[in-house]
């Protein structure tokens, strides 16, 4: 399984595009970024996306949906169907975004071409979606409903997404189900209302030593130990439990040895 960070910035910062992630080039998680531009830069095609999952309905996680769905439906004359998933209300929310953004004609065109079959996810959901296992957990945020997800492939590799969250039981359950956890880090030096900050995340890292953490949704960028600091177009491989992580190329190992020596 391969995670690609398409957007690593928080809502109003200049640290990166807004929240958007790809799993294997087949799933999009949130859509705050222009995925139709960024996916090709990561070696994938928008027309290969099978499904899109929203964590919640804030604009920095969803505002690019009309553009991305429009591009996806117009790639060719007969695009493949696409599925949509998210908290209760997701179908109505996306329909409203499409109609507000582009009016009735494009709304009808996108829905006729893509179908956008919808899967409603709630706390405790454990479903198949586009060939992946999706486990959803309610998390505490300023907008409800909000969900965190653990997404697993057929090998058992699993990557988690916090969405926007406070330190809560649903977030901890998601971390326990994930080999790699993408967690928002909206502050470094002090608590941030309705979000996570570095002090809380460092506690989570200490409490879950078997999980790797990727920090995203960043207000600013700074060196960090104990986690991977996300940037736009970052790619991370996720292996099933018991499988070794792939080794870096010989050239990378030699450069590291030279730097250390």
- Give yes or no for a contact between 48 and 80, defined as CB atoms under 8 angstroms apart: no
Residue 253 pLDDT class (50, 70, 90 cuts) = low
Adjacent-strand bridge partners of 236: 3
Q: What is the mean pLDDT of residues 153-167?
A: 97
By C-alpha distance, which of 83, 96, 95 is closest to 127?
Answer: 83
Per-residue pLDDT tens over the stretch 172-191: 999 999 999 999 999 999 99
* Residue 15 CB burial class (10 angstroms; 0-12, 13-18, ≥19): middle
Would 51 be classed as within a structural domain? Answer: yes
d(CA 192, CA 210): 26
256, pLDDT greater than 70: no
Query: Rounded mean pLDDT of 13-39?
Result: 97
Query: Is 249 part of any domain?
Result: no
Q: What is the mean pLDDT of residues 230-252?
A: 80
CATH number of residue 198's parent domain: 3.60.15.10
Q: Mean pLDDT over residues 234-245, rounded? A: 86
Q: Please report the pLDDT score of residue 179 as a whole number.
A: 97
pLDDT value for 245: 59
Which has more pLDDT, 243 or 136?
A: 136
pLDDT > 60? residue 65: yes
Average pLDDT for residues 149-177, to the nearest whole number? 98
Torsion angle (degrees, nearest 10) of CA 109, 32, 28, 7: 140
In this predicted structure, what is the pLDDT of residue 255?
Answer: 62
Residue 252 belongs to some domain of the structure: no
Identify the CA nearest to 51 among candidates 114, 111, 109, 6: 114
Domain annotation covers residue 107:
yes
Inside any domain, residue 258: no
Residue 260 lies in a domain: no
Q: Is residue 259 a part of any domain in this protein? A: no
66 near 98, Cβ under 8 Å? yes
Cβ–Cβ under 8 Å, residues 228 and 215 = yes
Please report how many Cα atoms fall inside a 13 Å half-sphere around the Cα of residue 249, on the Cβ side.
Answer: 3
| Domain boundaries, position 133 | 2-238
Overall number of domains in the chain: 1
**pLDDT at residue 5, rounded to an integer:** 98
Overall average pLDDT of the 7-36 stretch: 97
């Amino acid at each position: 399984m391969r995670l690609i960070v398409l957007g690593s910035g928080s809502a109003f910062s200049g640290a990166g595009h807004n929240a958007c992630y790809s799993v294997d080039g087949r799933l999009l998680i949130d859509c705050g970024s222009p995925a139709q531009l960024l996916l090709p830069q990561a070696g994938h095609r928008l027309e290969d996306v099978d499904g899109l999952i929203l964590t919640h309905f804030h604009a920095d996680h969803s505002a690019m949906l009309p553009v991305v769905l429009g591009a996806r439906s117009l790639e060719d004359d007969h695009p493949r169907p696409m599925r949509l998933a998210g908290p209760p209300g997701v179908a109505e929310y996306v329909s409203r975004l499409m109609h507000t953004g582009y009016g009735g004609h494009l709304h009808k065109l996108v829905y006729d071409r893509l179908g956008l079959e919808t899967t409603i996810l709630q706390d405790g959901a454990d479903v198949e979606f586009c060939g992946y296992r999706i486990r959803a957990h309610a998390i505490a945020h300023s907008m409800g409903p909000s969900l965190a997800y653990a997404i697993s492939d057929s090998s058992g590799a699993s990557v988690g997404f916090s969405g926007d969250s406070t330190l809560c039981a649903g977030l901890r359950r998601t971390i326990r189900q994930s080999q790699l956890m993408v967690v928002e880090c909206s502050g470094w030096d002090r608590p941030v209302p309705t979000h996570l900050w570095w002090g809380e995340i460092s506690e989570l890292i200490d409490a879950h030593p078997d999980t790797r953490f990727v920090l995203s949704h960043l207000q600013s960028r700074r060196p960090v130990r104990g986690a991977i600091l996300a940037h736009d177009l970052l790619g991370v491989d996720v292996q099933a439990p018991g499988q070794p992580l792939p080794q870096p190329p010989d050239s990378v190992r030699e450069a590291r040895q030279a730097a250390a020596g």
